[in-house]
A and B are shown apart, each in its own frame.
Chain A
Amino acid sequence: MTLISFFGNALTAYGPALAVFLLYVARNAQLVILLMTSAFFWLLSILFSSVFWYLIKPLQNVPVGTIFVAVTLQELFRFLFFKLMSKAEKGLNIIAKTPNSPLNRPANAFVTGLGFGIMSGLTLYLSQLAESAGPAILACNSCPGMDVFFVGALTTCLFIFLHSVWNMVAFDGWYRGQWLPFGFVMISHYAASYGTLLTPSSIEYGCAIALLIDFVILIVCTTLAVRPILVS
């Protein structure tokens, strides 16, 4: 059972992202390097938030505050990464396979977002995944029929792609000089993260609600991210 749950959780959490990585990103050296760079940026953001969390003692037992700090810093680093990308963009475009393709921007934004997502998925879920290989399960507080690890896997999977589309939406807005899309990204990130507070809560079907919130945000953001591409 332990191995089964381990592989099940692992593939649930990382399978889709892994497929995208292997089938799309890994075939292009430039995209791989972009992904690694963005992963590094996300790592920086989470390290900063954890340092804040560590230094500010009152924060440590208040998940609401923790989420606020972490999400804010992640979005800040998204912006910083955008700054870096826009500096390097011209160079990136010429060395791209298709230098003049209008799809370069969205593609790069998607891949760097995937880097954010994969890194966050690995950092936040990997140790639980390792634990899920153990003989016991831990019931989810809000949905006693569910296993914490599996709910975590679903959440991770959704968040990986949420990061991708958030990146696309935010970058697209910034490229056009608008901050509104980024504002939306920020709000939806808060919403998605605060939504997951329902999972450990005692609200009935809290985990389902949390997952539903994430899923709806994913759909809305995907629409927002894809529409400019289709329109242009």
Chain B
Amino acid sequence: MANQQEDEAFNKPAQEEGTLGAHTTGNGDFPITTLCTVCGRPARYMCSLCGAQAQVYYCDPSCQTFDWNSGHKAVCAGMHNNGAAAVRETTLPNTSPAVSSAVSLANASSMASLDNTGRGRVRQRRRRVRGRGNVAQVINAETHFIDRIKGFFSRGSSQHQSTHSIQSIPPTIPTPTTLRTPDSHIVVPPRTSSSVENQEHPIMEPLTEEEKLEDLKFYMEQVYLIIKPVLCCIALSILWVKLTTESSPNFSTGIGETAAPPSTVGSTFGSDDKGNTSAFINALIILGQIVGATIVVVVLFYFNCMKILFGFFILVVTALLGTFGWTLGSELLISHNLALDQVTFWFFIWNMTAVGVLMIFYKGPLFLQQVYLVLMSSMMAYTLTKLPALTAWILLALLAVWDLIAVLCPFGPLRILVETSQNEEREIPALLYTVMVWMMATPGEPPSSTRDQSRVSDPAIIAPAPAYTPNARWSRGVESAVSSWTPLSEYGDERHLTDSSGQDVELDVRNSTGTEMIGVNNEVARGHQGNTPMPPTIPAALPSQGCRVTDGESRAPNDSEEEEEEAARGGLKLGLGDFVFYSVLVARAALFDWITTVTCTVAVLTGLNMTIFLLALYQKALPALPISIAFGILFYFVSSVTLTPFTNELVRRQDKIFIEGADTWLWVGKNGGGGMIYV
């Protein structure tokens, strides 16, 4: 039943497709003896645009990619026939029919949805060309930010129409994501020639609208997942600040301390006593330390001194947990006037530190690791609020600038680190992520087909995504193919997909160095592509259980939860540095009053949202601090200068006078009442 429907859905668009392009080849019976035009090995693919006429064959996608870049682009028949260039490869029919049919099925149905709108088709072709190139091409192709945003929406809208229209045709198969009935595709017989044309090699698979959508959804989930730990960290920092500054006398003169001294611009800046220059110099010194630590880490990574690096990190984490734990603990005890003997206190600190180090560096449940990382960031943030106010604000501003430089400049250390790991196909070890100061995020994309509708409804699924590059695109295609014929339960474990607890966002703490970025961190990107794109070949990679093509290493699908955790680590990653400095900003605001606390929290979170949105658009490493810090600082000063007195004014109180000598307010008047005006 399901098979039939899917077959129909498959054949119909396939035929339409066949009549559309210039690639009606009818190459149903190529001998496998055809040789690759690049390397001379037996060829399995051909340029689908040229079709059989051009006699260009390739053994695998990397050869075609090479040939395309080295000149085939200019002579490709398809380029001349179609105004909009589309580049495809066609798998020859005698290569693993089940696989190719599955692939094509996925493609076909996405075509089906697009065939209904002429616009969609044109756009799809355009995108296909992009899919051909490398990341840079993708980025260059859409330089203007505004254009990209508009594109985002307009793509969405056209997809909207097609979603509607497709639903009237085969109601059960609106998108490729629903094509997951386990066995149906295995039994699909080899395609006839018309459908063979459809079997593009997935590397050529365009960013279809569907995938765009999947990406959007994916990022949305990611934003949510990343917000939770950030919010936890911020809340903890606020809690520490509020708990330790409980020093206000219990019997003050009445309502709110905040109402008392009219806040001035100067007081909110904290420029009470010390000169600005010394604050600036202090901030510079701290920034210098952060920069130095970052550079050391990057140099160590560059020269592959992993052991030194790990030793360094272990040392740093131990020191941080110990000292910050001690600072915070003693502050809490002092401010609440509690007595605790030294031995117990040290015992507690020692335990906390030791368990934390073991957890982070050796083994532990992901959840507990994240708890520790959040705890550590919040304690670090709390300690940093001990800086004089002006120094802290200057430091935050400088950090935002440094973050921009480090991530975006050609010689920025973090950028070098990302590039090194990509060029040398050397994975930045998870441990390094865990302990480094900046973070990388996978602007990964949702393997579009790994989730079916029912899964999408699960709020917090993350799929560790392959990077947003043509090759990853390719591997994603494979995944979609795979997922369409692998039982959900089997592959679900691996790339997956944690439950809705939301704990699975990896906090990548790179420790104390303090810079942050969101980067493209992707096993797939690193493993298979780097600068020279070489996706694995489909046939090799698709044994029935080897769904894990993307990793280049085959994993047993039914592995333990470790797999799951590992997969969870593949998601969007925010570095410890970001956690810390977001929290520093909010904790600093919390020292002022509750209103600035709330506004700064919202500002920082909105900045984070925007950053992730940009990440989704640009698909490359981005600094995570600047937008949030800029918003945070702006909102802090505006709200502390104007909003706090404004809201205080809304609470009517008795008339009061300020007594100079006593430094206090006195309530005057007969009736002792007030009231709140709510705007």
Chain A residues in the interface with B (C-beta under 8 A): 27-30, 32-33, 36-37, 39-40, 43, 46-47, 49-51, 53-54, 60, 63, 66-67, 70-71, 74, 87-88, 90-91, 93-95, 97, 99-100, 119-120, 122-131, 134-136, 138-142, 144, 148, 151-152, 155-156, 159, 192-193, 196-197, 199-202, 206-207
Contacts and interface: CB of A to CB of B under 8 A. Distances in A.
Interface string B634-671: 01001101111111111111000000000000000001
Nearest to A93: B160
A199 B216 contact: no
B160 A90 contact: yes
Contact of B635 (A47, A97, A140, A156): A47
Interface stretch (B74-82, B181-189, B456-464): B456-464
A103 to B, nearest CB: 15
Contact of B153 (A91, A155, A207): A91
A138 B652 contact: no
Contact of A139 (B599, B647, B673): B673
A63 B677 contact: yes
A71 B679 contact: yes
A179 to B, nearest CB: 22
B289 interface: no
Interface string B148-176: 00001100110110011001000000000
Most buried by A among B456, B641, B644, B676: B676
B605 interface: yes
B19 interface: no
Interface in B460-501: 460, 500
A36 B602 contact: yes
Q: Which size class do B's interface residues fall under?
A: 35 or more
B678 A200 contact: no
B220 interface: yes
Contacts of A32: 224, 227
B598 A123 contact: yes
Contacts of A94: 156, 159-160, 163, 213
Given A124-B678, A141-B652, A196-B676, A54 B460 contact: no
A173 B556 CA distance: 55
B558 to A, nearest CB: 28
A30 B674 contact: no
Interface in B208-243: 213, 216-217, 220-221, 223-225, 227
B673 A138 contact: yes
A27 B459 contact: yes
Majority DSSP secondary structure for residues of A touching B = helix
B344 interface: no
A47 B156 contact: no
B651 A123 contact: no
B303 interface: no
A156 B646 contact: no
Most buried by A among B603, B606, B645: B606
Contacts of A199: 652, 675-677
B147 to A, nearest CB: 15
B255 to A, nearest CB: 6
B595 interface: yes
B678 A29 contact: no
A100 B635 CA distance: 38
Contacts of A196: 675-678
Contact of A53 (B160, B254, B642, B675): B642
A141 B654 CA distance: 9
A139 B676 contact: no
B643 A46 contact: yes
29 contacts: A27-B459, A29-B224, A29-B460, A43-B635, A50-B645, A50-B647, A51-B638, A54-B641, A66-B677, A67-B679, A71-B679, A74-B679, A87-B153, A97-B457, A99-B160, A120-B679, A123-B599, A124-B679, A126-B594, A127-B258, A128-B676, A138-B674, A139-B672, A142-B673, A148-B676, A155-B676, A196-B677, A200-B677, A201-B675
B677 A67 contact: yes
B609 interface: yes
A123 B224 contact: no
Contacts of B217: 95
B646 A53 contact: yes
Nearest to B675: A200
A202 B671 CA distance: 9
B160 A36 contact: no
A130 B242 CA distance: 11
B678 A36 contact: no
B678 A37 contact: no
Contact of A148 (B223, B598, B641, B674): B674
A136 B456 contact: no
Nearest to B254: A136
B250 interface: yes
Contacts of B410: none
Most buried by B among A53, A54, A200: A200
B646 A200 contact: no
Majority DSSP secondary structure for residues of B touching A = helix
Contacts of A192: 678
B673 A140 contact: yes
Given A50-B642, A60-B649, 6 more contacts: A33-B224, A39-B602, A40-B606, A94-B213, A124-B650, A200-B674
Nearest to B160: A90
Q: What 7 pairs across the A-B complex have the smallest Cβ distances?
A: A200-B675, A141-B673, A200-B652, A91-B156, A29-B224, A199-B675, A70-B679
Given A50-B643, A127-B594, A196-B678, A135 B250 contact: yes
Contacts of A40: 602-603, 606
A60 to B, nearest CB: 7
A47 B643 contact: yes
A125 B650 CA distance: 10
A151 B676 CA distance: 8
Given A47-B599, A95-B213, A95-B217, A156 B459 contact: no
B118 interface: no
Contacts of A91: 152-153, 156-157, 160, 216
B429 interface: no
Nearest to A201: B675
A47 B397 CA distance: 22
B347 interface: no
Contact of B642 (A51, A122, A193): A51
B456 A97 contact: yes
B362 interface: no
Contact of A43 (B225, B602, B651): B602
Contacts of B220: 29-30, 33, 95
Interface in B79-129: none
A148 B643 contact: no
Given A37-B609, A90-B157, A141 B677 contact: no
Nearest to A52: B642
Given A193-B679, A199-B675, A200-B652, A127 B256 contact: yes
B594 A88 contact: no
A33 B160 contact: no
Given A91-B153, A127-B256, A122 B164 contact: no
A197 B160 CA distance: 48
Contacts of B638: 47, 50-51
A119 B601 CA distance: 11
A202 B644 CA distance: 26
A199 to B, nearest CB: 4
Nearest to B648: A127
Nearest to B223: A33
A50 B639 contact: yes
B593 interface: yes
B459 A138 contact: no
A119 B256 CA distance: 21
